[in-house]
A and B are shown apart, each in its own frame.
Chain A
């Protein structure tokens, strides 16, 4: 009202001034300059927007490049070919062929003998110790397996490919350069010389590193693998899914279909939205206090990890499921009710099947978040150094992101490539899950 009145007043007062003002000369230099300026501003503004997106994508590319360039080499591993004499006196002195006897034999000694035979010029104790580093400490287990599988090897002399130590692996992959001064690298000139002579005789080879996918964690980078963490992640996610999916869907159905609109349900709604924004580490503190200090569940176990992550994933699933249920048109419900179905039957036979693709999409995204989560699991002790592959959800275990965190902290250069490679595996799983979610959404997309 007042706006209108003031406008009228302006008109009345300004009518004289308007009459006096010259009409705008649209061809004047001033106007032309002004338009040019405005178009320039327009172009600048658009360029800022494009630059912002390019900046974000450049960050993504840099992230990917830095991970892949550091990690791709972890999928191959250096092997050394050494002529091993399977000396019966060491392996099986009484010729019993008893696996227990063979299993106890000193295969490490065989490797050392072979190395000394290959480099007879090495004599002093400290030199020898440096020489032994060429072959990984895990190689003796390989040798044992080989002999146990094929006892006829005993007494023969064979050329055998053995896994190389991590420093020599790094040397072979070019991460340790002979040009840096001897004091500031992990291998001295002698060791590089030996390795060079092995390379020249064709006894060094890079092969696909299966151990990386089949082993548990290890203090030796060349022996460390992600299988233990992958299995731990699997158990943790199963527990998370089994708990959060039914509870989340049931809660969503209740809130969307049955709940009366009163104070209590309002509180529940606000609560769920707030829970979705609570920092993950706070859920870790809850898990630590509730599951470990009060309920005395086993520390570091995937069960506790899953219970903690389930509480964290629950809001995500509830919110996604509610959106999916809301998207089912009311006419479906009315038709079912009109035919005499009870409200529960209406939901379970009609609404839920139609909402299921949406619910599943939300669940997969929630699970992907849970798979990448680290901080709450640190709180409940899943950072322990665990070599064994967990056999059940009650065994101590670690998960992929925590494994990445642990390796990122390790001082050995070789763990950098392992960390990056583990990240690549984790990202591959995440992309797979997100791809599945997108596929589901596309396949079951429905316009009502």
Chain B
């Protein structure tokens, strides 16, 4: 495979240039390292960096641009009647990429498209060959340039350390870049969506049925994109989850922190944390195959009609998943309350529970509120449990026994499978993603603010 080969080649060249650089420095030192400004290892690293970094940067840029550039070249050669119609164009592009991958023999398409496909294949092979040549040239140039610059009084260490520092800054910047990437990728497609559907309808519409007509003469498939029912469903499930997670999590934290013997804590705490490590798809399976049928059957015994994909089942299991999250966060907060406050309360004759309720809990309240808000944001963004255990039909109801759908469920159902990215149906997933991102971001920031602003500061 060419990428592995290229990476290996670069690594090999780096190793070689390290050896060369070090050798040259040793030779220049005339046997005494104190004649050199830096240690020989620094000269080696210097040449290795010059050899590897430009080549790696080139590789990344090349791979990022190769797809779009070749595609643009191919499109520019297509006849106008294909390029002017976005639907036709995307069909043609699919065919072209299939033909280029030598996979489209069965396709019945225009000769221009076949030609374009073959052209794309040629372009790809040209690009790959050119990449290898250019990459090796850049690596060798870097090696030669840095090798010739090595002198006994060259400040190799300072050079290397400066580069290392810039590299580290670059790595930290990736965190910002990924946020920017999230915002832009969501915003770009969401704006696309809003050019088809008005934002007012999306934000305040009471109906969600993302089926859109593929042919103009199709009936009853206009599509309605009101996100209110999705958010109502999300909030209903989140509410049920919190009803489970908050009391159980809080009381667990109180018992662990204040009552439990060290021996009990030593096995109960890790056991509780196992709940947090279980993958959500496992919870989804548990909810769909064990909890939901159990609720349906017990509902039938009581004479209630419980939907087999009820909000209750998804919410209950999601609550179980969030218990350790609430308990460990509030445990941290409550253990930060100083012992002096407890001792003072005991000294006044209060019992343990009175101390916890009237002294520790109020003191820890901001932290606990923050923990609960973080848990809410996690529940809103949780996907697999609701995908497997909640329904698909958008249902504006407050009845936990009925099926509801959520934002994340809709994102998954809209985007799984082969999709064209010019229908309002697929684009709506990005608008939903944007709203989801903003809501959870807002909750997180708010939670942090609450904790910072209202935290009791001791000593």
Chain A contacts for B384, CB-based, 8 A: 374-375, 401, 405
- B302 sits at the interface (CB 8 A): no
Pair B354/A38 contact, Cβ less than 8 Å? yes
Pair A45/B353 contact, Cβ less than 8 Å? yes
- B395 sits at the interface (CB 8 A): no
Q: A404 and B282 in contact (CB under 8 A), knowing A251-B172, A279-B436? A: yes
Cα separation A277 to B182 with both chains bound (whole Å)? 13
Chain B contacts for A427, CB-based, 8 A: 278, 282
- Measured CB to CB, the nearest residue on chain A to B415 is A379
- A274 is contacted by which of B251, B278, B320, B445 (Cβ under 8 Å)? B445
B8-16, B146-154, B268-276, B337-345 - interface stretch: B268-276
Chain A contacts for B408, CB-based, 8 A: 279, 281, 375
Q: A56 and B272 in contact (CB under 8 A), knowing A45-B356, A408-B284? A: yes
Count of chain B residues with a beta carbon within 8 Å of a chain A beta carbon: 96
Cα separation A247 to B171 with both chains bound (whole Å)? 5
- Measured CB to CB, the nearest residue on chain B to A50 is B255
- B175 is contacted by which of A45, A57, A70, A314 (Cβ under 8 Å)? A314
- B309 sits at the interface (CB 8 A): no
Q: Shortest CB–CB separation between residue A233 and chain B, in angstroms? A: 11
Pair A404/B281 contact, Cβ less than 8 Å? yes
Pair B380/A279 contact, Cβ less than 8 Å? yes
Pair A42/B351 contact, Cβ less than 8 Å? yes
- B247 sits at the interface (CB 8 A): yes
Cα separation A302 to B252 with both chains bound (whole Å)? 40
Pair B285/A277 contact, Cβ less than 8 Å? no
- A405 is contacted by which of B173, B249, B284 (Cβ under 8 Å)? B284
B64-72, B126-134, B200-208 - interface stretch: B64-72
Pair A404/B285 contact, Cβ less than 8 Å? yes
- Measured CB to CB, the nearest residue on chain B to A379 is B415
Cα separation A70 to B252 with both chains bound (whole Å)? 30
- A60 sits at the interface (CB 8 A): yes
Count of chain A residues with a beta carbon within 8 Å of a chain B beta carbon: 90
Chain A contacts for B421, CB-based, 8 A: 293
- B277 sits at the interface (CB 8 A): yes
- B172 is contacted by which of A57, A268, A295, A344 (Cβ under 8 Å)? A268
Pair B186/A282 contact, Cβ less than 8 Å? yes
Q: Shortest CB–CB separation between residue B183 and chain A, in angstroms? A: 9
- Measured CB to CB, the nearest residue on chain A to B168 is A254
- B68 is contacted by which of A50, A250, A294, A392 (Cβ under 8 Å)? A294
Q: Shortest CB–CB separation between residue B422 and chain A, in angstroms? A: 11
Chain B contacts for A278, CB-based, 8 A: 182, 381, 437, 440-441
Pair A378/B416 contact, Cβ less than 8 Å? yes
Pair A268/B282 contact, Cβ less than 8 Å? no
Interface residues in B348-389 by Cβ distance below 8 A to A read: 351-354, 356-357, 374, 377-378, 380-384, 387-388
Pair B281/A374 contact, Cβ less than 8 Å? yes
Q: Shortest CB–CB separation between residue B33 and chain A, in angstroms? A: 14
Pair A430/B254 contact, Cβ less than 8 Å? no
Q: A281 and B381 in contact (CB under 8 A), knowing A59-B320, A288-B415, A344-B161? A: yes
Interface residues in A401-432 by Cβ distance below 8 A to B read: 401-402, 404-405, 408, 416, 419-420, 423, 426-427, 430
Pair B64/A63 contact, Cβ less than 8 Å? no
- B430 sits at the interface (CB 8 A): yes
Interface residues in B411-439 by Cβ distance below 8 A to A read: 411-412, 415-416, 421, 429-430, 433, 436-437
- A271 sits at the interface (CB 8 A): yes
- Measured CB to CB, the nearest residue on chain B to A254 is B168
Pair A250/B248 contact, Cβ less than 8 Å? no
Pair A251/B174 contact, Cβ less than 8 Å? yes
Pair A67/B286 contact, Cβ less than 8 Å? yes
- A311 sits at the interface (CB 8 A): yes
Chain A contacts for B299, CB-based, 8 A: none
Pair B176/A268 contact, Cβ less than 8 Å? yes
Cα separation A248 to B175 with both chains bound (whole Å)? 9
Among B63, B254, B327, B430, the one with the most A-chain Cβ atoms within 10 Å of its Cβ is: B254
Q: A408 and B285 in contact (CB under 8 A), knowing A42-B352, A254-B168, A293-B421? A: yes
Q: A250 and B167 in contact (CB under 8 A), knowing A45-B356, A285-B185, A401-B281? A: yes
Cα separation A308 to B356 with both chains bound (whole Å)? 44
For A308-341 the 0/1 string (1 means CB < 8 A from B) is 0001001100100000000000000000000000
Interface residues in B209-249 by Cβ distance below 8 A to A read: 247-249
Chain B contacts for A285, CB-based, 8 A: 182, 185-186, 411, 415, 429-430, 433
Pair B412/A281 contact, Cβ less than 8 Å? yes
- B179 sits at the interface (CB 8 A): yes
Q: Shortest CB–CB separation between residue A290 and chain B, in angstroms? A: 6
- Measured CB to CB, the nearest residue on chain B to A62 is B290
Among B173, B178, B378, B415, the one with the most A-chain Cβ atoms within 10 Å of its Cβ is: B178
Cα separation A48 to B185 with both chains bound (whole Å)? 47
Pair A70/B172 contact, Cβ less than 8 Å? no
Chain B contacts for A49, CB-based, 8 A: 251-252, 254-255, 258-259
For A344-375 the 0/1 string (1 means CB < 8 A from B) is 10000000000000000000000010011111
Chain B contacts for A63, CB-based, 8 A: 278, 282-283, 286, 320
Pair A53/B256 contact, Cβ less than 8 Å? yes
- A258 is contacted by which of B165, B247, B353, B382 (Cβ under 8 Å)? B165
Pair B320/A259 contact, Cβ less than 8 Å? no
- A46 sits at the interface (CB 8 A): yes
Interface residues in A57-81 by Cβ distance below 8 A to B read: 57, 59-60, 62-63, 66-67, 70
- Measured CB to CB, the nearest residue on chain A to B157 is A342
Q: Shortest CB–CB separation between residue A366 and chain B, in angstroms? A: 12
- Measured CB to CB, the nearest residue on chain A to B316 is A59
- Measured CB to CB, the nearest residue on chain A to B283 is A63
For A284-314 the 0/1 string (1 means CB < 8 A from B) is 0110111001111100000000000001001
Chain B contacts for A426, CB-based, 8 A: 279, 282
Q: A52 and B251 in contact (CB under 8 A), knowing A63-B282, A268-B176, A375-B384? A: yes
Pair A57/B282 contact, Cβ less than 8 Å? no
Q: Shortest CB–CB separation between residue A348 and chain B, in angstroms? A: 9
Cα separation A419 to B164 with both chains bound (whole Å)? 47
Q: A60 and B182 in contact (CB under 8 A), knowing A46-B255, A251-B171, A285-B429? A: no
- Measured CB to CB, the nearest residue on chain B to A408 is B285
- B168 is contacted by which of A44, A250, A282 (Cβ under 8 Å)? A250
Chain B contacts for A95, CB-based, 8 A: none
Pair B178/A311 contact, Cβ less than 8 Å? yes
- Measured CB to CB, the nearest residue on chain A to B167 is A250
Chain A contacts for B188, CB-based, 8 A: 289
Cα separation A67 to B285 with both chains bound (whole Å)? 9
For A245-265 the 0/1 string (1 means CB < 8 A from B) is 011101101110011000001
Q: A274 and B412 in contact (CB under 8 A), knowing A250-B168, A280-B383, A426-B282? A: no
- A267 sits at the interface (CB 8 A): yes
Q: A67 and B429 in contact (CB under 8 A), knowing A52-B255, A250-B168, A274-B441? A: no
Q: Shortest CB–CB separation between residue B405 and chain A, in angstroms? A: 14
Pair B189/A344 contact, Cβ less than 8 Å? no
Pair A255/B268 contact, Cβ less than 8 Å? no
- A147 sits at the interface (CB 8 A): no
Assuming A279-B377, A282-B381, A372-B278, what are 7 further A-B pairs, CB within 8 angstroms?
A: A50-B259, A56-B275, A271-B175, A286-B182, A286-B185, A392-B4, A427-B282
- The 9 A-B residue pairs whose C-beta atoms are closest, nearest first, are A279-B381, A49-B255, A372-B279, A296-B67, A52-B251, A289-B185, A45-B353, A254-B168, A375-B383
25 contacts between A and B (CB under 8 A): A46-B255, A46-B353, A48-B251, A52-B249, A52-B251, A56-B275, A251-B174, A255-B172, A268-B173, A278-B441, A281-B436, A282-B433, A285-B185, A288-B415, A290-B181, A293-B421, A294-B67, A296-B67, A344-B160, A372-B278, A372-B280, A374-B383, A401-B384, A408-B285, A423-B282
